[in-house]
A = this chain, B = another copy of it.
Amino acid sequence: MKFSDLFREHGTVEHYTKGQHIFKQGDKNENLYFIQSGFLKAYYLSSEGKEQVKSFISPNSVMASLLSCYANGVCSFSLASLEPATVIKLPFSYLLQQSQQDLALANQLQNLLLELAMKKEKREYEFLCLPAEQRYLQLQNDTPELFTKATQNDIAHYLGITNVALSRIKKRVNVNNSQL
């Protein structure tokens, strides 16, 4: 059994409009989502109403709240659509249950988790070791297409700064570049 088969045979297709939520912080949502098309934003909302962006999600990747799926908690973040999106929903427990009987599936899930862990380690490294300006440059380098899809406000909050600070950084960077 393959991952994609599982989604095809046991998943539910869902459509979301721009701005619509797939789940919200505090919800119980135990599904894994495969993104077929669209562009999503996962974000935290503080009690003072400030938003910080956990990640952007592109087509052909999967997304879920591990806390809700696996650790018996509620979603610690919200997942919203930034453009019309089509996703396939699959109960995480069903995947886990199948992977306990299917070696190929278990190994595929393993790979997915290893990739996830490495991605998160990279982000940890960037927050720990790089100043905001370098995080910005690295993001430009790694995912330039992001800058055409997300607003500067969302990108700033992904970098852990405000839109005002990002505007300043862009200015600094441009001045330096034109001075070369």
Q: Is the beta-carbon distance between B66 and A128 smaller than 8 angstroms?
A: no
Q: Is the beta-carbon distance between A129 and B52 smaller than 8 angstroms?
A: yes
Q: A70: nearest residue on chain B (CB-CB)?
A: B114
A-side interface size class: 20 to 34
Nearest-neighbour CB distance to chain B for A95, whole angstroms, equals 10
The answer to the question of A141 belonging to the interface, with a C-beta cut-off of 8 Å to chain B, is no
Contact with B along A97-127 (1 / 0, CB 8 A): 0011101001101100110111011011101
The answer to the question of A180 belonging to the interface, with a C-beta cut-off of 8 Å to chain B, is no
Q: Is the beta-carbon distance between A125 and B71 smaller than 8 angstroms?
A: no
User: Please, which residues of chain B bring their CB within 8 A of the CB of A124?
Assistant: 54, 120, 123-124, 127
Would A125 and B160 be within 8 Å (CB), given that A110-B110, A114-B70, A118-B71 are in contact?
A: no
Main SS of the interface on chain A? helix
Contact with B along A56-89 (1 / 0, CB 8 A): 0000000000110011000010000000000000
Q: A126: nearest residue on chain B (CB-CB)?
A: B127
Q: Which of B110, B117, B127 contacts A106 (CB 8 A)?
A: B110
The residue among A44, A66, A120 with the most chain B CB atoms within 10 A of its own CB is A120
User: Please, which residues of chain B bring their CB within 8 A of the CB of A52?
Assistant: 128-129
User: Please, which residues of chain B bring their CB within 8 A of the CB of A110?
Assistant: 99, 106, 109-110, 113
- 5 closest residue pairs by CB, A with B: A113-B113, A120-B120, A127-B127, A106-B106, A52-B128
